[in-house]
Structure 1
Amino acid sequence: MKEAEERDAELEKIETALLLEGIYQRYGYDFRDYSSSSVGRRIRHRMRLEGLDDISSLLRNVLHDSDAFRRLLGDLIIPVTELFRDPEMFLAFRRNVAPELRKLPFVRIWHAGCSTGEEVYSLVVLLHEEGLLDKSRIYATDISEEALQRARDGILPIDRMQQYTRNYQAAGGTGEFSSYYASERGIVMLKPFLRERIVFARHNLATDSSFNEFHVVFCRNVMIYFNSELSNRVHGLFYDSLAAGGFLVLGGRESLAFTPIEDRYETWNDTHRIYRKIL
């Protein structure tokens, strides 16, 4: 019995590798170095929904049917985001980083893995209230074009507005949160001026290179899905993308500890994973 289970596990590993390689070769999305346990759960979930018995059948469908691929992609890229998510981090950024950004003539920010844009817009509101927005440009990127389109639209779920308001207040908001959006016929849309300083673009952290020099790089709760090899690659990408003295902001479960470049940063706020490039 144990030998049969080991053979099945090895076969699943081979099929998964072929599926991820096929996705990369056919569609250009690279999940080959994502956490195997996370990817495996999502693949099995899609198999159940599609009524398939094995990964090879899923591979065949994905390669020959772009709709099947988009369904699987929706499982592999699961956006978990909200306005002012982890408000204490935004409060720390407001207090500890914004004063440093005021010293610069112009501020370039890269928000990598922006998903549907809620955290990007949170940052824009913060920059506006700190008098930094007019001299800032925010580049918001994601692997998913569908998520990027939702981000460009700037439409919020009306049933989340009370939670978003509480988050905004906890993040040190200095105004009325309702001044940043308009509500009509059950649709909540962010004010157009919040979108004017954002450039949305597709970027794949697994394969694409740096495209500018930035004073801040946000990448929160993205690398928890990567294996160590891909995480190190992405950390190198961010390091190369940051100007001297630039800030890197990671998610609460992410850290520079034990990475090849941890000694090239100083910890600016350990609790909220804010680091500053020193070398």
Structure 2
Amino acid sequence: MSETTDQPPESDAGAARYRAPALDKGLDIIELLAKQPDGLTRAEIQRDMGRSPSEIYRMLERLVARGYVSRLASGDRYMLSLKLFVLANAHPPLRRLVHQALPLMDRFARETRQSLHLVMPDHEAAVVAAQSSPGTTWEFRVRVGARLDLLDTGSGITLLAFRDAESLAATRALWDEPARDARLAAMAPELARIRAAGHRIGDSRQLVGVQDISVPILSPLNEAIAVITCAFIAHPEGGPEDAVAPTLARLQALSRDLAVK
């Protein structure tokens, strides 16, 4: 007696039987744009896909309306937005990252008497996903849920340093601001130094006397899925173990524990 199965057939004939042409066209456009860091014009998409102008126009309009594709204001050019990346961030494994990180962050805060926060990319900015404080009289903390500028915060700059070319292009498309593009281009040497060092240490751009120590949490492709930043405050009675270098070493160990294998 033969077995029955609910799985779709795997033969070529079965695959053709279960095709959804409209869905296929949308996915074809997304996959095509994913390989083009500078985007494509509608005519180029039509040429590469071998589709009629009306088919491409309707599908692009729907992808733009749903936020999967961005139309650049400078002309008839389309790029992937970060929506797929944001959807991936909502996937349970990344939600589990926050739950996994919090106990380690709380222990770090207690042992170092420093505050720290976990930041994840969110469209054209970054968002604070978790935060821990030492519970002492004096501390610096960032509100969970706060949106941070990528160009003006230690966490944001570190995220940019560990982004690939396609992700940076998608972020620039969402900005669509020549002034911000110019700032990003001017930061290229700094971003290269951060990537080579594997971390960033610099004065806070929000508070005088605070140093940001930022370390990425890396994917298997060495791209940052998140950044942990310690808002380092020197304590007058602190010893050698309370200095910046030992604190960085602890933060790097925490990051390794959270890295996506």
Shorter-chain TM range is: 0.3 to 0.5
Q: Give the number of the structure whose alpha-carbon radius of gyration is greater.
A: 2
Q: Which has the higher contact order (CA 8 A, sep 6+)?
A: 1
TM-score (normalised: structure 1): 0.32
TM-score (normalised: structure 2): 0.33
